[in-house]
Amino acid sequence: MSAARRGRSGDRRWIAGVALAALLSTLLPAAAHSSWSYSPPPLTASLRTAQIPTPASFSCRPSGGLLGIGSTADFSWAALPTGTAWRYQVWIRDPGAGTDVPVSAAGQTGTSISIGTGLLTGLLGSILDLLLGGGQAYVRVVAVHPSGWTSAATPEIPIRRASLLGGVTC
């Protein structure tokens, strides 16, 4: 076999090898040809806030006092679920002065309070003046969690002077 012939047959083998490789690459599954990659899922974050329940069954009952003298507005509400050291804070809103006054410290653990003219005189004279003048003030209560978080306020209940002789009623 001559050298020229041997060269041509080597070229043919090379071309046949390339053609065979091209044919095999199209017949093999794509996974055998691709590189591996990983895309992590997107990071997500969430934030939840504690929801403090609003005291339920908030109500007022007028009590005491002949002809309204010395009468009080007695407020009560249902205790929140046990297992937590709930405290309650009672507020009075004077719409004329645009003020909110805490009637009780946030440390009150009981579920009732009586509001009379003596308490109002000690709290804020303008609320007593409002009531004596025939106006209304509004009482609400919030629950306070030991962490300091507070609930939404209960619906407000109006209070007013019980009679011309004094006292408070709802």
How wide is the angle at C-alpha 133 spanned by C-alphas 130 and 135, nearest 5°? 55
Considering the segment(s) 59-169 as one domain, its CATH architecture is: Sandwich (2.60)
Task: Calculate the alpha carbon distances from 160 to 40, 74, 83, 134 in Å.
Answer: 65, 13, 37, 7
Residue length, the chain?
A: 170
Q: Please give the pLDDT value at position 76.
A: 93
Euclidean distance between CA atoms 54 and 62, whole angstroms: 23
Cβ atoms of residues 107 and 87 within 8 Å: yes
Q: Where are the domains of the chain?
A: 3-30, 59-169
pLDDT tens for 80-90 read 887 777 889 99
Torsion 40-41-43-45 (CA) sign: negative
pTM tops 0.85: no
Q: What is the mean pLDDT of residues 140-159?
A: 90
